């Protein structure tokens, strides 16, 4: 009877150790999967932010350029009409120049009631800054996710369990965001 108790205790200890091993190994594996998915998600967020920039900035630049061109045409007409008044030699010239300036001013206020180029350029500058800040935050979050993932898979006991439970290459070490050569130089915005 004593021998049976010893055998049962040994079997119980073996089963307990096996259960703890499987439980610990599956926890390590599951955590590696979660962290790997977090890295992939953060990289997708970086890509989405790049796409936002690619979609937004050209449209903003074109809108600001278009508004500036409209204002330039209006101001040119007003300036030309004023020059006509200054150069008027006869009352008819003066009356014609006066009508032209009134037409130009009315056009300016009807078609474009507020001169906004400076405001538009300021808004564009704010959008550029905000977009670059979003990209920077997305890259930082990606690097944080890479760091957490790499720390997890490279731990001694965790890497032991991952080597036992995972296929080779299933959890490779990830690289953090690397800027392109010359990225330390600010891009030029051209109008």
Q: Is the pLDDT confidence value at 46 over 70?
A: yes
pLDDT per position as a tens digit, 149-189? 888 888 777 777 777 777 777 888 888 887 777 776 767 77
- Report how far residue 71's alpha carbon sits from residue 6's, in angstroms, rounded to the nearest whole number: 96
Nearest one of 170, 167, 178 to 142, comparing CA atoms: 178
Q: Dihedral of the CA atoms 22, 26, 27, 33 (nearest 10)?
A: 170
**For the purposes of burial, counting CB atoms within 10 Å of the CB of 169, is it exposed (0-12), middle (13-18) or buried (19 or more)?**
exposed
Domain ranges of the chain: 2-68+116-165
The DSSP letter of residue 90 is S
Query: Smallest Cα–Cα separation from 138: which of 56, 35, 58, 48?
Result: 48
Mean pLDDT, residues 67-84 taken together:
72
How far apart, in whole angstroms, are the C-alpha atoms of residue 148 and residue 70?
Answer: 53
pTM exceeds cut of 0.75:
no
- Greater confidence (120 vs 50) lies with 50
> CA 66, CA 23: separation in Å to the nearest integer?
64
What CATH architecture applies to the domain 2-68+116-165? Answer: Up-down Bundle (1.20)
Q: Is the pLDDT of residue 25 over 60?
A: no
The runs of H, that is alpha helices, within 87-186 are 91-111, 117-154, 156-165
pLDDT in tens, 81-126: 666 666 666 667 666 666 676 776 666 665 555 666 667 777 878 8
Confidence of residue 146 (pLDDT cuts 50, 70, 90): very high
Largest CA distance in the chain: 133
Residues contacting 63, CB < 8 A, separation 6+: 120
How many residues are given for the chain?
Answer: 191
């Amino acid at each position: 009877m004593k021998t049976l108790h010893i055998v049962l205790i040994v079997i119980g200890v073996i089963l307990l150790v096996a259960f703890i091993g499987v439980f610990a190994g599956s926890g390590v594996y599951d955590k590696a999967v979660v962290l790997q998915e977090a890295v992939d998600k953060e990289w997708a967020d970086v890509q989405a932010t790049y796409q936002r920039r690619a979609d937004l900035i050209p449209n903003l630049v074109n809108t600001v350029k278009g508004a500036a061109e409209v204002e330039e045409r209006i101001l040119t007409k007003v300036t030309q009409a004023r020059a006509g008044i200054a150069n008027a030699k006869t009352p008819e010239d003066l009356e014609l120049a006066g009508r032209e300036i009134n037409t130009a001013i009315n056009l300016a206020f009807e078609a474009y009631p507020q001169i906004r180029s400076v405001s538009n350029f300021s808004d564009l500058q704010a959008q550029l800054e905000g977009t670059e800040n979003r990209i920077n935050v997305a890259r930082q979050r990606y690097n944080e996710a890479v760091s957490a993932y790499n720390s997890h898979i490279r731990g001694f006991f965790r890497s032991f369990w991952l080597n036992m439970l995972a296929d080779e290459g299933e959890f490779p070490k990830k690289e953090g965001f690397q800027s392109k050569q010359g990225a330390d130089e600010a891009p030029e915005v051209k109008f």
